[in-house]
A and B are shown apart, each in its own frame.
Chain A
Amino acid sequence: AQTVTQSQPEMSVQEAETVTLSCTYDTSESDYYLFWYKQPPSRQMILVIRQEAYKQQNATENRFSVNFQKAAKSFSLKISDSQLGDAAMYFCAYRISGTYKYIFGTGTRLKVLA
């Protein structure tokens, strides 16, 4: 069964600093997609970044980048130059191949300290 694990329930980072959120997953598939979603206090889920498993290059979106280690089944999110608006719950998600269903991790609450 596919599972997604986020081992850090809560993280804190100083404004303008860099923080890395961890995510590991378990799957027997070779082709899949991984995502990081942000859920601010408004509860609106916002896509932060996406990674295709067949791509070796790590995805990057402005201040957000991932470290995708396929063999280790690891998919961490790095946030550079952290801003107060980055404070939110961050969910790692895996897309089940062929079904379009997402499996979400338990989330990491990120606090940004001024």
Chain B
Amino acid sequence: GAVVSQHPSRVICKSGTSVKIECRSLDFQATTMFWYRQFPKQSLMLMATSNEGSKATYEQGVEKDKFLINHASLTLSTLTVTSAHPEDSSFYICSARIPRRTSGGISQETQYFGPGTRLLVL
């Protein structure tokens, strides 16, 4: 299957600093990527949809000035956590969408997930 990478896999930073997380599609072009947040023992919560060449779409309750998303190329989306605080500590996961068409023209899309980035803010 398709491969999505994330870097770094783990980051520890001081409160008030900014942290950038990269999400790359390694063997395909992804016009749309998604950023999720997962708290311990909880489900994935969609934060935003990242579209190549345009502004990201944020879910309700997610601060766009806090979580800056840039999707400058078809293989790279970045999430920057600005002025990070301890409550931002979490597991951040990206996914990339591959739209597929069957012979009947019906979309059978697939999303591939990155391995995640664990952020710890001290």
Chain A: residues with CB nearer than 8 A to chain B? 33, 37, 42-47, 50, 52, 91, 95, 99-107
Contacts and interface: CB of A to CB of B under 8 A. Distances in A.
20 contacts: A37-B113, A42-B115, A45-B95, A46-B113, A47-B1, A47-B110, A47-B112, A100-B32, A100-B49, A100-B109, A101-B34, A101-B46, A102-B95, A103-B46, A104-B43, A104-B44, A105-B43, A106-B43, A107-B42, A107-B43
B110 A44 contact: no
A47 to B, nearest CB: 7
B111 to A, nearest CB: 7
Contacts of A43: 91, 93, 115-116
A106 B42 contact: yes
Given A52-B108, A95-B109, A102-B111, A45 B93 contact: yes
Tell me the dominant secondary structure on chain B's binding face. Answer: strand
Task: Select the residue from B43, B106, B110 with max chain A CB neighbours within 10 A.
Answer: B43
Contacts of A46: 113
A33 to B, nearest CB: 8
Interface of B: 1, 32, 34, 42-46, 49, 91, 93, 95, 97, 106, 108-113, 115-116
Contacts of B97: 100
Task: Select the residue from A46, A100, A105, A107 with max chain B CB neighbours within 10 A.
Answer: A100
Contacts of A103: 46
B111 A44 contact: no
Contacts of A47: 1, 110-112
Task: Select the residue from A43, A47, A50 with max chain B CB neighbours within 10 A.
Answer: A43
Contacts of A45: 44, 93, 95, 113
Nearest to B116: A43
Nearest to A105: B43
A44 B44 CA distance: 12
A107 B34 CA distance: 19
Given A44-B113, A101-B34, A102-B111, 10 more contacts: A33-B109, A43-B91, A45-B93, A46-B113, A52-B106, A91-B44, A99-B49, A100-B49, A101-B46, A104-B44
